Amino acid sequence: MTTSMKTMWAPWRIEYILAEKTDGCVFCNALGEGAELTLYKGPLTMVVMNKFPYINGHLLVAPVRHVAALQDLDREEMGALLATVDQSVRVLKQVMRPEGFNIGLNLGRVAGAGIEEHLHFHIVPRWLGDTNALAVFADVRVIPQHLQETRDALKPHFQAIAP
């Protein structure tokens, strides 16, 4: 029995592979100048595009303050965080017209937190048929739009939000 090796080309990934890796917290670094995937920086919250999205428009909403747990937030931060999640959903609805959303918070590594030291919500827009057999049979996820194009479409809408 002969099996052939399958190749999937992703030339845009070489930029990430060869890029200089940064130290520190991803979210705290996203507050600095030139953070190209940061869509919004408010006084208490921020919105950052996921560099490894499940689907186009996958956003991360985090407090500006470096905290790991919900109980570390004060009431004002808690309210601002949920308001920013709501505003992000509104922008995604306007720009990308999803049919639904998965919104979640993973607390702790065993719960799926890839970055457990800085609390953050995931907002994943969903469309009917946005997953297919490729993910099941080939363990491949298809992202139909380049990350920079998605950013360019969303950024003006987040800039319009007054901090």
Residues annotated as catalytic are: 120
129 conformational bin, left if phi > 0, alpha if psi -120 to 50, beta if neither: left
Give 61-111 as a DSSP string: EEESS--SSGGGS-HHHHHHHHHHHHHHHHHHHHHH--SEEEEEE--SGGG
Q: Of 129, 163, 153, whose CA–CA distance to 59 is shortest?
A: 153
